Amino acid sequence: MRCSNCGLCCEETEMELSIRDVDALEKTGYRREKFSVTGEDGITRLRNVDGRCFFYDHAEKRCRVYEVRPIGCSTYPVVYSADGEVVIDELCPMGGTVSDQELMEKGRILLELIKTIEDEGAGKHSGFQLDKKKPQ
């Protein structure tokens, strides 16, 4: 697909993060307490600042961590609908440039991600904690 860098997908984000996403983002030097929040449901999500994702650079209109952005951001505009279907988000003005093959491939990755995040969230609920090293 083509991206017009409109930044709409980074507005009021509720992007869910896997442990792997959080680890990859921390390796860039940011601390998880700054860029994420974990809800009562045990799911960790990107944090917003001034109405956009913590990582969105307002001046440059770009993602500061594009190369290691969360898996859910890389599969966008392919999303999981409230009805439980893999669809193209109507919000994305470039959604029409997603090919059928891309929709299928990103949909597969997205479903795997959702399963991983659900399993990890359930782990947190049951008191399971990973010993994580924080960056200096």
Residues that bind ligand SF4 (CB under 6 A): 10, 13, 15, 46, 53, 55-56, 63, 65, 69-70, 73
CB of 13 to ligand SF4, least distance (A): 4
Nearest 10 degrees: Cα torsion 60, 65, 66, 68: 180
CB of 45 to ligand SF4, least distance (A): 10
- Based on its alpha-carbon atoms, the radius of gyration of the chain, rounded to whole angstroms, reads 15
Cβ contacts of 25 within 8 Å, gap of 6 or more: 17, 32, 35, 36, 55, 65, 68, 70
Q: How far apart are CA 113 and CA 105, in angstroms?
A: 13
CB of 77 to ligand SF4, least distance (A): 11
For ligand SF4, the closer CB: 34 or 125: 34
For ligand SF4, the closer CB: 49 or 122: 49
CB of 31 to ligand SF4, least distance (A): 15
For ligand SF4, the closer CB: 14 or 105: 14
Q: How far apart are CA 61 and CA 41, in angstroms?
A: 31
For ligand SF4, the closer CB: 55 or 80: 55
